[in-house]
Amino acid sequence: MKTTIQRAKEQLFEIPDGKYTVLEALRYIKINMDRTLSFNQGCRSGVCGSCACTVDGKEVLACKTFLQDNQKIEPLKNVEVIKDLVVSKDKIEQNIQKYKTTIIENSQKTATNKDAKKIDIQSNCILCQSCYSSCPVFAVNKEFAGPYILSRVFRYANDIKESNQKEHIDLIQTNGIWDCTLCGNCALVCPEHLDPKNDIQALRNMSATYGYMDPNFASMSFGGGMDFGFNPNF
Ligand code: SF4
Ligand code: SF4
């Protein structure tokens, strides 16, 4: 079977017919055909997120996806390619700091199982960056906080142990929740079934309780001379 890998240039490899995951095919090529091929791998069981790439343009975990004949393997989109299929995680790590995606002020409350359940799914992110690769807003604006970060903000803003929810909400007003187009691509590609789009919608509702509103809506003028300008006391 044949597969094309996007490196500095596209390269076609022919490997023996068989049933391979994408990662097994990459390992076969590296061991038997080209030792310079670079890709990330870790747990090989869909837990660490390090082998994310695209196959025929769709974000996948290489260790959990079977390769078909004539498919094209490429690095994730919208992130810096270091070599072949290896991409940088610098941006996502910078954003973790920038958006303070952790407990800012500990409430000292004890979380019950019910409390933990409310933020369970958001806590399952494996940092694979597939959602960033699929996001049309991040593609054109690298200052956009991005789907994973916004899900993580949701997670900490709703944590019973957090007593400073407002600071989380304040930090995502610029290049954050209002820039998302709600296209849902991030939810479609997430291997852990997070739904950042839903979390963003929930964060918009929470923002309204702190007096924020969609800046695009706030700057709109409506007919009849009425202007629904931003009202900080809303
Ligand atoms: S729903 Fe929003 S965050 Fe998710 S991919 Fe679309 S624009 Fe990006
Ligand atoms: S939210 Fe999903 S797709 Fe995005 S980094 Fe986390 S696990 Fe990967």
Element spanning 189, H or E: helix 185-189
d(CA 43, CA 61): 11
Q: What is the pTM of this model?
A: 0.89
Q: Assign residue 135 a region: left if phi > 0, alpha if psi is -120 to 50, beta otherwise? A: beta
pLDDT of amino acid 221: 60
Residue 180 beta carbon below 6 angstroms from any ligand 1 atom = yes
CATH topology of domain 2-87: Ubiquitin-like (UB roll) (3.10.20)
Instruction: State the pLDDT at residue 219.
Output: 67
Q: What's the gap in Å between 11 CA and the centre of ligand 1?
A: 31
The atom of ligand 1 lying closest to the CA of 197 is 1
The pLDDT confidence band at residue 216, using thresholds 50, 70 and 90, is confident
Looking at residues 23-51, what average pLDDT do you find?
96
| Model pLDDT, residue 92 | 85
Q: Assign domain 90-218 to its CATH superfamily.
A: Alpha-helical ferredoxin (1.10.1060.10)
pLDDT at 29: 98
* Token output for 99: 């958006």
Mutation test residue for ligand 1: of 135, 148, 154, 178, the one with most atoms within 8 Å of CB:
135
Question: What is the per-residue pLDDT across 155-165, written as a single tens digit (0 to 9) for each?
Answer: 999 999 999 99
Pocket test for ligand 2, best of 190, 195, 197 (most atoms within 8 A of CB): 190
181 lines ligand 1 (CB under 6 A): yes
Q: Where are the domains of the chain?
A: 2-87, 90-218
Here the tokens at position 215 are 């800046």
Does the beta carbon of 141 sit less than 6 angstroms from any atom of ligand 1?
no
